[in-house]
Structure 1
Amino acid sequence: MGSCIICGTSVDGHICDLHEEDALFEFRGNSADQLNVGRYYRGNVDGFAEFGVFVDIGDSVTGLLHRSELDQRLDSLDWDAGDEVYVQVKNVRDNGNVDLGWSIRQAESEFRGVLVDDPDVGHSTLLEEDEDESGNADGDGATARSPDTDDEASDDTDDEADETDDTVSGTDDDAADASESGTATAAPEAGAVSQTGDADRVSEAGGTVGSNSDADESTETESASGDTAAVEADAEDGPTTVPVGALADHVGETVRLEGEVVGIRQTSGPTVFELQDESGTVDCAAFVEAGVRAYPDVDEGEFARLDGEVRERRGELQVETEALTVLDDDERDEVERRLADALDDEARPDAVEPLAEDDTVDALSADLVEAATEIRKAVLTERPVIVRHTNTADGYLAGSALERATLPLVTDQHRRTDAQYHYFDRRPLEGGVYDMDDATKDASQMLDNKERHDEALPLFVFVAAGGTRESLDGFDLLNVYGAPTVVVDDIEVDGAVTDAVDAVVSPSLADAPDTTATTLAANVAAHVNEDVRADLRHLPAVSFWEDAPGAYVDLASEAGYDAEAVAQLREAVALEAHYQSYEDKRELITDLVFGDDESDVGGLAGHVAEQFREKVDDEVATAVANLEYHTVEGADVAVLDTDAYSHQYEFPPETLLLDELHRSVRDEVDAVVGVDTDTLYVRTDADLDLHELVADVDEAVPEGGVTTRSVRDGSVRYLAGERDAVLDATLERLAEDL
C-alpha cells in the first residue's frame, strides 16, 4: 500500500485513478496490451508517414499519432526521428495497433510526477533516482513529485479531492472505505457527457454502477456481468424515457435513453458508451471492475436502450449505466428511423434563392436541396466529405465551390486545427470517369482509416464526373461498403447511375436546358452554406468557355470580374488543372479562384493565363496546319493525328487542344476528330449519342475492341492494330448525325 504522489490518497502503488492523467509514465513492458489506456507516456519519434507520426513507447511497442490528433499541420512539426515526445494512449486495438493522442504538455516539468509503468510489478512505481555528487538525479534525471515537495500541487489537489468525494458512486463513507481497502471504485476521468458537435469530449467520472451501496445484490451482479441480455425495466414501471438534450432537467434521477451506440472507450476504470439520439450525444459509464469491458457483446453502430442515473460533475452531465439492452427488429427500426428523420431535418437547408435567374436551376431546386442535405448531414455526423471532380477548369471550379461552402461548417463542427484537411478533401479524376482504379484507391484508404482510426466512411461527391455508365463499377465497389454517394453533373446521367447513388443533380433528369457543372455545384454550395454566397457569384460565368448566360455575366461583374478577368481566371484554372492533375492544389486554386485581385490583370490569374494562351495558340496553329479534311456523305470532317502533331504529355492535353481546335474551325467543318494510337476523340455541335456511335462502330469492326472511354471527353478506345478501320467506320457513322 502506498500514497498518491499528488493527493496523498492511500492506493496500491503511487498514483490514484483520479490523477493518472496528471502524471507521466515510462513503459517497461514488451507488448501493446500491457499499456494503460488514458495514461501519458514518454516516447521517441520512430518515423513519419502521410497520415501521422510513429512513436516508440518503451523498447518493444510502437504506436501511431494520427495527423487528426495533432494541434498543428503535420508538416509543421519540429520533430526529427529519435526526438523525445510525450503522447497519450487513446486505444489499443485487438490486432495490436496502438492509437496515440497529442499531449499539449511536451516537457517533463509540465507533468506532476514521473512514474514507471511496469507490468511485472502490477502497479505504478517511483522512477528510481541515483543522486550524483551534486545532489541531482542522474540516469534519466526524472523525479516523482509528492505533495510534500509541491505546495501548489497540494493546494490544487485538495479542491479536486473534495469534488471527487461528491461524484464517486455510493455514499461518502462507502467511497472512503473502498479507498482504504484498495478497491477500485473510481474511474480515471471517464464517463462525462458531451453535447453534439463537441469533438473534445472530456471523460470525467465513473465509479461503481448504481447510486446506493446496499442495492439489491442480484441487480448489482447482473449489471456488473456486462451481459447484453441485462434485465430491462418493465415498460410501465421502468424509468421515464427522456431525450439526451433534456438530461439537464433530470440530474439525480434514473432515466431511460434510446439511441445509437456511436462510440465505445475502455478506460482503466469503466467502459464508456457514447450514446446518440436525435437531440444530442452523452457518455455513459458502465463499471464491472477496473479496466474490464462491460457489456462486451455491445458493438458500435448498434441501437440500444440504456437505463442509468444522471449525474453532473464540473459542469458536465454524465450517466451511470444500470442496464443496457441492444434493440432489434421493430424496436431497432423505430429508433433508427427516428434518428434518421431528425438528422435529415437538422441537415436540410432552408430554401435559398438561386445565384441568378436560371430556368435550369429552378427546375432542379429539389435536387439541389437533396444534394446539399447529404453534404450537411455528413458534416454533422463527422463523416469526411470527399469531392471527386474532373481535372478540367469546370471540374476544379465546381469542386472549389463546394469546398468554399463546406470548410467553414467543418471548422465549426471540430476543434482540431487540421479538421479542414482531415474532414474534407478534393481528388481530381481523369476524364470524369470513376473507374475501378480510382474506386480501389478510395476504398482502400477509407477502410484503412476506419480500421486504424475508427473513422466513419466518407461521403463521396462526384462533380463534373461520374454521370455515365463507365463509372458504375466504381460506384458498385463503394456500395458494397455502404459509402454514400452524390453526383452533380451537367451531362446526361444514365439511369443506372441514378439507381446506384444516393442523390443526383443533372439537367437531364428534368429535361432542363444545358449548363455547366460549376453552375450546378455553386448553387448546391449556396444551399450548403448561404454565408459564402457572395464568394460564389463569379464562378458560373467563369465556367462557360463561350456564350455565358447574361445573368451570370452580370453577376460576375457585380463581384468585380469583367469579361477579361473572367477569361483569365478560366484559362488560369485550366492550365493549373493539367499539372499534377491528381492533386487538389487547394491553396493555389483558392488563391486563383477567390483571391483579392480578381480584376487585376497583373495578378496571379493574369500571369498564369498568359502562359495558357501562349501554349494553346502555338499548339492550335500547328494543328490547323496539319488537319486532314474528309467529306463523307456530304459531311465535312477535319481529322488531326494527335500523335504526330501535338506534344505528348505536355500542355495543352489532347482534350483541351481539340476543344480549342473545334472552336477555331467550326465554321468550316461539321466535326473535328482527333486520333492517336488507341484513342479517338469526337468534337461536334450536332446532337450525338457517343454510346450509340461506339456500338455501331464496334459492330462494323468487331475485332477492334471498340469501347467508350469517356462521354465527357468524347473519347473512344480501340485496339491500336485496328486504328485505320475504326477511323473509317467512325467517319461513316458520324456522317449520319451531321
Structure 2
Amino acid sequence: MGSCIICGVDVDGGGRICDPHQEDVVFDFRGNAPDQLVPDRFYRGVVDGYAEFGVFIDLSPGVTGLLHRSELDRRLESLDWESGDEVFVQVKGVRDNGNIDLAWSIRQADREFRGVLVQDGDTERLPEEADADEDDDDTAAEPAESAEPDVPDEDDEDDEDDGATGADETTEEDDSSVEDDAAVEDDATAADSSSDESEPNDVDRSTPSAEGDVADVTTDDGPTDAESDIDGGESDAADDSDDLDDDRERVEIGALSELVDDEVQIDGEVVGVRQTGGPTVFEVRDETGVVDVAAFIEPGARAYPTIEVGDVVRIDGEVESHRGDVQVESSALVLLEDADADAVRRRLAEALTDEARPDGLQPLAGDETVAQLADGLLDAAEAIRRAVLESRPIVVRHAATADGYVAGAAVERAVLPLIRDEHAKSDAEYHYFTRRPLDEPVYGMDAATNDATRMLQDRDRHDEKLPLFLLVGTGSTVESADGIELLSVYGVDAVVVDAEVADPETREAVDTLVSPEIESVEGDLSTGALVASLASAVNDDIRDDLRHLPAVSYWADTPDRYVDLARDAGYDVERVAELREAVALEAYYQSYQDKRELVADLLFEDSGNLAAHVSEQFREKLETEIETATANVVTEAVDGVEFDVLDTDGYTHRYDFPPTPLLLDDLHRRRTNGEAHATVGIGMDELYIRTSANVSVRGVAERTAELAPAADVATAGLREGKIEFLSGERDAVEDAVVAAIAEAF
C-alpha cells in the first residue's frame, strides 16, 4: 500500500495519489497503450500537429490523443503552440477503438500543479524513483553486455593470479565488488564536477532549508546544509539576513520583464503559496505588480514552511522567463518584521488606495440617471480594482439573458487588461476572473452553494484568497437573501449592481449595492447600460469599446441617447438588433458556461458575419414558437383588462429555444396595442406575467396567495415576473392571478 504525495493518506494498490487529489498532480506517461491512461488525470504531452478540428498531442511514443477545438477556452487559431512544444492536457476518456479524447488544462506549467508523478503502465512513482530505476537497469545491463566467458589459462601461475581456482574465487568477487563501488564513486564525482554544465539553472542554486534558512547547495563531499536540517542535524548556514545582498537596490516587480537573467532584490507581500512537485511557489505582490517566486529545497518539499499568505518578505533571486511568464528563482528569502514590514505594508496600502479609486464617473451618453448613482458606482469600481490589485479572484454572476451577458461582458472587457498588467503569468486572467451565468436572475442557494464549494476548494487546495463576488442584475431582492447570507458567513465581499427592483433589506446583506430604487432615482435603465458605465469607471482605456453595449441591452424602447451613441460607434439599429438576438440565442445554449471567446467575438470582434448568422437562427426559432403560441392563446377580458393566457406546458417546447420568459416578452410586445393588457404564461407549477401597466409582481403574488391559500404561492424572480405554486392548485392559481392583476390595474 502506498501513500498520497499530497496528503499522506494510504492508497490502495500501491498508488501514490488518493482519489480527492487526482487532479492536483500532473503525470508523465511512460506506458505504451491508451487503455493504461486514467480518465480525469492531467498528463504532460508534446504537440504532434494541428488539424481543422483540433490538436494532436503525443502522451508517449505511439500514444496520441486529440484535443478537440470545442474543448479549448479560446479559438484554435489563437493557440501559440508549435510542433514539439511541451503542453499539459486532461484525459477525458479512451474510446473502445483506442482513440483518446483530451481536454484543455488551464495549468500549463509544472509549478501550477501540486505534484508530479510518473505513470509507467499501471505503476505510479515519483520522478526520482523512476529515474533511479532506469539508472539501475542501465547499470545492471552494462556488465551483461560487456562480460566475456572465463577461459581457463594453461599457466597455473597465471591461474593463481587470476584467482580462478579454489577458495580464491570468493576473494575475487569481493575485490571485484570493491572495484565496482570505486567506479561508481568515481562516476558520481565526475558527475558532480560537471553539474554546472549538465544541470539546469534552477537546480544549481542556493536552497532554503526546512527551517527557512538559506543554505548553499554542495555538489561534492557530504550533504547540503538543507539536507542536514531535514535529517535533524544542526545547520551551519548563516542567518537569513546574512544571505541577502544588503547593497543590492530594491527592484519593482513591474520592471522585472526587462531584467530577465539579472540578479534582483524585491520586497512585497505574499498573496499566494502553492506546492508543486518541484519548488514551492510564492506569489509576491508589491505596489507595481505580482510575480511568482520559486524556492527549491527538494522535489515536492515545502520551502520556508513558516512563510504564509499575508507575510511581508524580502527576496534575492534571478529573473527568469518560462514560456513567456516572468518568475524569480530565489536564492534567499527572509521574513520582514516590525519597522521593515510596516514600511512595506504602508507603501502597498498607499499605492493600493491611490490606484483603486477611480478619478470619477463619466456616464456613457451623459446619462443623468447613471450620474445620480455615481457614488455607489465609484464604490463598486473601487472594490473591483482593489480586488485586482490584491490578487483576489473576481466572480461575476449575471442572468443568462442578452441584458445579463452584455453586463457581464462589459465588466470582463474592463477587468481582463488590468489583470494582465498586474500579473506576470500569461494565464492569470483565467485564474483571477470568472463569469458564471445564472439560469434565473435570482442568486439562490443552489448558485451560492456552488460558489462556496468552489471558493473553499480553491482556498484549501491552491491557497487562493476568497473572491470578490459581483452580482449584476441579480442579488438585490429578498429572494437572494439566503444565498448572499451563505457567502457572508465566510466574510466574502459582495457587490450588487441592479438597474431595476431592489429591496431595502438587501442593503445590510451586501457590501455595496447600486440600484435606482434604493436611491429613489427614476429612469429607464437596463442593467447592461448601468454596468457599461461602471466598466468605463473600472478601466477608462476601454471606454470606446463599450459605447454600443447599452443599446444592445434593451429589447424595446431604447433611449435615444444610447441609440445615437451606438450609431456614433459604427452600430446602426439593424446591427444592434443582430447583436442582441445573437447574444440571446447563445446565452440560452450551455447557459451555465461563460462562452468568453464566443461572446467577445460577437460583441467586440465580429465584422458582421457571425452575429448576422446567429441572429438569423434566432429569428427562425422564435417565429416558429410565436406562431404556435399565438394559435393557442386564450383571450379573455376581466374588469376592463384584456388577458392573453398561454398554457406553456402544452404549447411551447420548454426545453428548446426560446426560453419561456423571452417568448412571453415577444408575444406580449406584439399584442399590446396601448390598451390595458396582460399576458400570462402558466405551466405545471410556475407562471410568468407581463403587463402594460406598472404592476408589482410581488403584490400580485401576495394577493394570489390570499385568493388561493392552499397553493403555497411565492415569488421566484421579480425581474422576470415569475411566481411559483403547488401544481395541484394550478386552476385556482390561474383564476386568482387574473383577478389580482385586474385589481392592480
Name the TM tier (shorter chain): 0.5 to 0.7
Structure 2: 5+ residue runs without aligned partners? 1-13, 19-24, 46-71, 74-84, 103-107, 119-125, 148-185, 229-235, 256-264, 321-327
> Counterparts of 2:117 and 2:308 in 1: how far apart (Å)?
24
Q: In the alignment, residue 308 of structure 2 is paired with which amino acid?
A: E
The SS at the match of 1:561 is coil
Q: Which residue of 2 aligns with 1:99?
A: 114
Task: Name which of 545, 560, 566 aligns with 1:550.
Answer: 560
Alpha-carbon distance change, 44 to 475 in structure 1, aligned in 2, over 3 angstroms: farther
Q: Aligned to 2:308, which of 271, 278, 300?
A: 300
RMSD, aligned CA: 5.3
| 1:309-324 matched pairs, under 5 angstroms | none
Q: Provide the C-alpha distance between the structure 2 equivalents of 1:311 and 1:245, rounded to a whole number of angstroms.
A: 13
The answer on whether the counterparts of 2:684 and 2:727 sit within 8 Å (CA) in structure 1 is yes
Output the CA distance in 1 between the equivalents of 2:492 and 2:713.
32
What is the Cα deviation at residue 717 of structure 1?
0.3
Distance apart, 1:437 and its partner CA: 1.2
Letter in 2 for 1:300: E
Of 682, 691, 710, the residue aligned with 1:684 is 691
Aligned positions of 1:521-532 closer than 5 A: 521-532=531-542
- Matched residue type, 1:503: T
The DSSP-based 3-state class of the residue aligned with 1:509 is coil
What residue number does 2:142 align with? 131
1:652-682 CA-to-partner distances (Å, cap 9, x unmatched) read 2211111011111111542111111111211
**Equivalents in 1 of 2:296, 2:628: separation in Å?**
77
Would you say the 8 A contact 1:116–1:125 is kept in 2? Answer: no
* 1:616 pairs with 2:634: no
Cα deviation 1:31-76 (Å, max 9, x = unaligned): 679xxxxx99966587577794599xxxxxxxxxxx99x9867479
CA distance in 2, matches of 1:75, 1:288: 28
Displacement of 1:369: 2.3
**Which residue of the other structure, out of 208, 224, 244, is the alignment partner of 1:184?**
224
> For the residues of structure 2 that align with 1:626 and 1:684, how far apart are their CA atoms?
19
Name the residue aligned to 1:411: 420
Give the structure 2 partner of residue 461 of structure 1. Answer: 470
Q: Which residue of 1 aligns with 2:645?
A: 639
| Contact 1:185/1:207, CA 8 A, preserved across alignment | yes
Q: Which residue of 2 aligns with 1:509?
A: 518
Query: 1:433 pairs with 431, 442, 457, which one?
Result: 442
Residue type at the aligned position of 1:509? I
| Corresponding position of 1:698 | 705
Q: Which range moves more in the overlay, 369-378 or 676-685? A: 369-378
Q: Distance in 2 between matches of 1:147 and 1:359?
A: 78
1:467 match: secondary structure: coil
Q: How far apart are the structure 1 equivalents of 2:338 and 2:407?
A: 43
CA–CA distance in structure 1, aligned partners of residues 297 and 427 of structure 2: 37
Q: Is the 8 A contact 2:419 2:432 kept in 1?
A: yes
**TM superposition shift of 1:721:** 1.2
Instruction: Give the structure with the higher percent helix.
Output: 2
- Residues 62-113 of structure 1 show CA distances to partners (whole Å, capped at 9, x for unaligned) of xxxxx99x98674799999899xxx99759xxxxxx813799xxxxxxxxxx
Contact 2:551 2:558 in 1 (8 A): yes
**Greater alpha carbon shift after TM alignment, 403-412 vs 269-278:** 269-278
**What are the equivalent positions in structure 2 for 1:590-605 lying under 5 Å apart?**
590-598=600-608, 603-605=609-611
Matches within 5 A, 1:530-541: 530-541=540-551
Q: 2:220 aligned with 1:209, yes or no?
A: no
The 2-side partners of 1:360 and 1:705 are apart by: 38
1: CA distance, partners of 2:619 / 2:130: 68
Q: In the alignment, what sits opposite 2:658?
A: 652
Determine the C-alpha separation between the residues in 1 that align with 2:292 and 2:88.
Answer: 29
2:359 aligns to what SS in structure 1? coil
1:447-477 per-residue CA deviation (whole Å, 9 max, x = no partner) reads 2222222222222222222221111111111
> 1:703 offset after TM fit, Å?
1.2
> Is residue 271–residue 391 contact of structure 2 (8 Å, CA) maintained in 1?
no
| Matched residue SS, 1:631 | strand
TM-aligned CA distance change 1:286 to 1:616, over 3 Å: closer
Instruction: Normalising by structure 1, report the TM-score.
Output: 0.67
Matching residue of 2:400 = 391
- How far apart, in 2, do the equivalents of 1:418 and 1:271 lie? 19
- CA positional deviation for 1:264: 5.3
Written as runs of structure 1 = structure 2, the 5 A alignment for 1:191-270 is 207-210=237-240, 261-263=270-272
**Matched residue pairs, number?**
599
Q: Which residue of 2 aligns with 1:24?
A: none
Q: What SS does structure 1 have at the residue aligned with 2:114?
A: strand
CA distance in 2, matches of 1:713, 1:388: 16
What amino acid does structure 2 have at the position aligned with 1:685? S
The 2-side partners of 1:439 and 1:319 are apart by 43
The answer to whether the 8 Å contact 2:405/2:587 transfers is yes
What CA distance in whole angstroms lies between the structure 1 residues aligned with 2:129 and 2:541? 51
Distance 1:270 1:521 in 2: 42
Shift in alpha-carbon separation, 1:280–1:651, aligned structure 2, 3 A: closer
Cα separation, partners in 2 of 1:264 and 1:353, compared to 1, 3 Å: closer
- Seen in structure 2, the aligned counterparts of structure 1 residues 593 and 102 have a Cα distance that, compared at 3 Å, is farther
* Conservation of the 8 A alpha-carbon contact between 1:278 and 1:343: yes
Change (3 A) 1:543 1:155: closer
Q: Could you tell me how far apart the structure 2 residues matched to 1:148 and 1:471 are?
A: 69
Is 1:728 paired with 2:739? no
> By how many angstroms is 1:363 displaced?
1.4
Is 2:505 aligned against 1:496?
yes
Which residue among 450, 453, 477 is the counterpart of 1:444? 453
CA contact (8 A) 2:701 2:723 kept: yes
Alignment-derived partner of residue 359 in structure 2: 350
User: Do structure 1's residue 587 and structure 2's residue 597 form an aligned pair?
Assistant: yes
Deviation digits for residues 408-462 of structure 1 (CA, Å, limit 9, x no counterpart): 2333333444433333222211121111111112221222222222222222222
Partner Cα separation in structure 2 for residue 367 and residue 633 of structure 1: 43
Aligned to 1:141: none
Give the SS at the match of 1:386. Answer: strand
Matches of 1:420 and 1:293 in 2, distance apart?
Answer: 27
Q: How big is the shift at 1:393?
A: 0.9
Q: Which residue matches 1:576?
A: 586
Query: 3-state DSSP class of the match of 1:619?
Result: helix
Aligned counterparts of 1:680 and 1:77: Cα–Cα separation in 2 = 40
